[in-house]
């Protein structure tokens, strides 16, 4: 069993996970033992062992991808706006502060989709990032944008 798992991990492990190959093998062994104890039978065919190795690696890649996701911050949006429109602060005094204040008053459920939308993310991308149905993300985005427009208009900034 160990030889088959060793071969599977040697061939399947991508370069970004080479440093944790031994940990992944141990995790796979624990999965196998857990299934065997639960089902009270030995399931050690070579194809099953390769499948366990593959799913262990895939789970670790997904876990690392989720861990890399950073919270959305309004400062990044402001930096992006300043990068795209360097004269904007001079043309629209107080807009940065008003935008920040209005975004802070939005509920988080709407603020995150709105900020991602303003950064140029497509609705499908926002839906995938938030792990939420597309229609819900669209509704949150458009309701949030409407509230943002009202807030900015109340502060004297209208389109």
pLDDT in tens, 82-118: 555 555 554 566 777 888 888 888 888 888 888 888 8
Say how many C-beta atoms besides its own lie within 10 A of residue 9's C-beta. Answer: 22
Give the model's pLDDT for residue 143: 93
What is the chain's mean pLDDT, rounded? 80
Domain ranges across the chain: 2-68, 74-154
Whether pLDDT at 132 is above 80:
yes
Q: 53: Cβ–Cβ under 8 A, 6 or more apart, which residues?
A: 5, 8, 9, 12, 24, 25, 28
Confidence of residue 139 (pLDDT cuts 50, 70, 90): very high
So what CATH class is 74-154? mainly alpha
Can you read off the two tokens belonging to residue 145?
Answer: 């944008």
Give the model's pLDDT for residue 46: 82
Give the model's pLDDT for residue 144: 92
Q: Show contacts of 145-153: CB within 8 Å, 24+ apart.
A: 145/114, 145/117, 147/102, 147/106, 147/110, 148/102, 148/103, 148/106, 148/114, 151/98, 151/101, 151/102, 151/105, 152/98, 152/99, 152/102
**pTM for the complete prediction?**
0.46
Give the model's pLDDT for residue 152: 87
**For the ranges 4-13, 37-46, 54-63, 100-109, which has the lowest average pLDDT?**
37-46
């Amino acid at each position: 069993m160990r030889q088959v798992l060793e071969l599977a991990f040697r061939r399947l492990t991508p370069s970004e996970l080479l440093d944790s190959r031994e940990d992944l093998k141990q995790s796979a062994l624990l999965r196998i033992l857990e299934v065997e104890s639960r089902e009270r039978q030995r399931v050690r065919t070579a194809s099953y062992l390769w499948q366990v190795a593959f799913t262990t690696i895939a789970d670790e890649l997904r876990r690392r991808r989720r861990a890399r996701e950073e919270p959305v911050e309004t400062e990044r949006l402001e930096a992006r706006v300043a990068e795209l429109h360097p004269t904007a602060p001079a043309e629209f005094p107080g807009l940065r502060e008003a935008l920040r204040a209005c975004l802070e008053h939005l509920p988080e459920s709407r603020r995150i989709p709105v900020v991602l939308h303003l950064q140029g993310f497509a609705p499908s991308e926002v839906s995938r990032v938030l792990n939420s149905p597309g229609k819900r993300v669209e509704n949150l985005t458009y309701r949030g944008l409407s509230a943002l427009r009202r807030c900015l208009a109340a502060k004297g900034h209208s389109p």
